[in-house]
Amino acid sequence: MMPIVVGPPGLFGKAPTHGDFLHVNTGARAFMAFDDWLTGAVEWAAARAGAAWPDACTKGGIHRSVFRWPGAVPSTHSRTPNTQL
């Protein structure tokens, strides 16, 4: 069995005041793998949607998840729409 490693909480997300994603305490190897996967998924979606991507991306709903070991799981304390990662 792998030992449990506990560290400081991190933050990864968007805010209206920032043009790009916010990263705070996100240097853990597992999180970096999640970030790579998420980036690849968004790039795939953008390539597949082509010219329709900018409009689809800006008009899409608000989604959230919580990153916990062993990965991303839905948060249960929010009123925003949810996506299963």
Per-residue pLDDT tens listing for the chain (85 residues):
667 666 677 777 777 787 777 888 877 777 788 788 888 988 999 999 999 998 888 887 766 655 555 555 555 555 555 444 4
Q: What are phi and psi of 19, to 5 degrees?
A: -80, -20
What pLDDT score was predicted for residue 85? 43
Residue 82 forms beta bridges with which residues?
64
Count CB atoms within 10 A of the CB of residue 38: 16
- Closest to 36 in 3D by CA, of 46, 50, 26: 26
Count, residues in the chain: 85
